[in-house]
Amino acid sequence: MARILSNQELQALVAEWRSAGLSIGFTCGAFDLLHAGHADYLARGRAQCDRLIVAVNSDESVRSYKGALRPIVAEAHRLRLVAALACVDAVTLMHDRRPARLLELLKPDFYIKGGDYAEGSLRSAPVVEAYGGKTIVIPVEYSISTSAILKRAGDIALHAEPEQLPPRSHPRIVFLDRDGTILEQVHFLRDPSKVKLIAGVGVSLRRLQDAGLLLVVITNQQGIGLGYFDYDDFLAVNSEMFRQLSAHGVRISRIYFCPHSLADQCACRKPGTRLIERALEYFGANANDCFFLGDSESDMETATRAGCKGILVTATKPLGQAVDLILGVQEQP
């Protein structure tokens, strides 16, 4: 656990570390809203030395260069947050705007800064070089800043919370297999450039949507479990599918997927019914009011087990005909 020390207490601790032959790093900043960029550069800075000191700007010094309305978080809280980081060995308050006085007092081996600085451009670098220390700049890894966080918080604060609509009573759902039913079949599809809607799918799904049915995808994706592609690939393919469907005004309400292989013997892989059960619970739907459109006997077995009406989609019985059947069923008294 890092310790919060006065400048004088820290000077004594540095002397102990130096006697033990430990290398010492020093960095400083406001750390007003601690974020991933801070955590990353401090961790990488700690990797350059045996002990890392962090000097946190006092409230008064922050105001001197960030304006009268900063900091957002008081110095006592900022000190505590930085001290809680595992990569930080000691924390002290810095009353000056610049660290020159503390650098001369402590004489760390490394003066570490995070950002896009050139090493020679840091104004306190000459102080470090004068006693034989070295300046290290840690490049920015995360595109985030306190200012950006504050802007987003301000933008969010301008928006009223949307009204929560009451849930639909027993909505009707059309469950859809993805590959071979919505999309042209591609073995272990992972490349968004190969995503292509089967002819007529967009128009057919729009008819179902306009009739008030929810569209929910139920898909086995064992390629994830087998290592042929990862979750990011899966999401990228779905994103392209959404883009192509949106051209027809179609919106998929939810996607349920099984990432496991057949060998995993899970309850969610079709013809298992766990994915449908989760969807029915989420939407508050009754299985016997719902349909399952798929291109395989496994899809039909899933529908039967779950209590839905299954309709097999094939080259000779395309999705459009299945939609005709569904809408015809709806129209029966």
Q: Provide the pLDDT for residue 139.
A: 87
Does 161 score more than 50 pLDDT?
yes
Does 328 score more than 70 pLDDT?
yes
Q: Which residue range is the domain that position 138 belongs to?
A: 3-153
**One-letter amino acid for residue 264 of the chain:** D
- pLDDT tens string 54-88: 999 999 999 998 888 899 999 999 999 999 999 99
Q: Provide the pLDDT for residue 2.
A: 67
Asked which of 61-75, 147-161, 201-215 is least confident by mean pLDDT, the reply is 147-161
Number of domains within the chain: 2
In a domain, 316, yes or no: yes
Residue 91 in tokens: 């924390």
Does 170 score more than 50 pLDDT?
yes
For residues 96 and 62, give the distance between their C-alpha atoms in angstroms, rounded to a whole number: 9
Q: CATH number, domain at 296? A: 3.40.50.1000
Q: CATH number, domain at 112? A: 3.40.50.620
Does the model's pTM come out above 0.85?
A: no
Kindly state the percentage of the chain with pLDDT values over 70. Answer: 95
Say if residue 316 is in the same domain as residue 194: yes
Res. 92 pLDDT band, cuts 50 70 90? very high
Say if residue 192 is in the same domain as residue 46: no
Say if residue 212 is in the same domain as residue 309: yes
- pLDDT tens string 300-315: 999 999 999 999 999 8
Res. 332 pLDDT band, cuts 50 70 90? very low
In a domain, 165, yes or no: no
Say if residue 112 is in the same domain as residue 191: no
Domain boundary (109, 124, 153) is at 153
Say if residue 23 is in the same domain as residue 148: yes
Res. 42 pLDDT band, cuts 50 70 90? very high
In a domain, 162, yes or no: no
Domain boundary (92, 123, 153) is at 153
Across the chain, mean pLDDT equals 92
Say if residue 191 is in the same domain as residue 145: no
Rounded (to 5) percent helix, strand, coil in the chain: 45, 15, 40
For residues 149 and 297, give the distance between their C-alpha atoms in angstroms, rounded to a whole number: 51
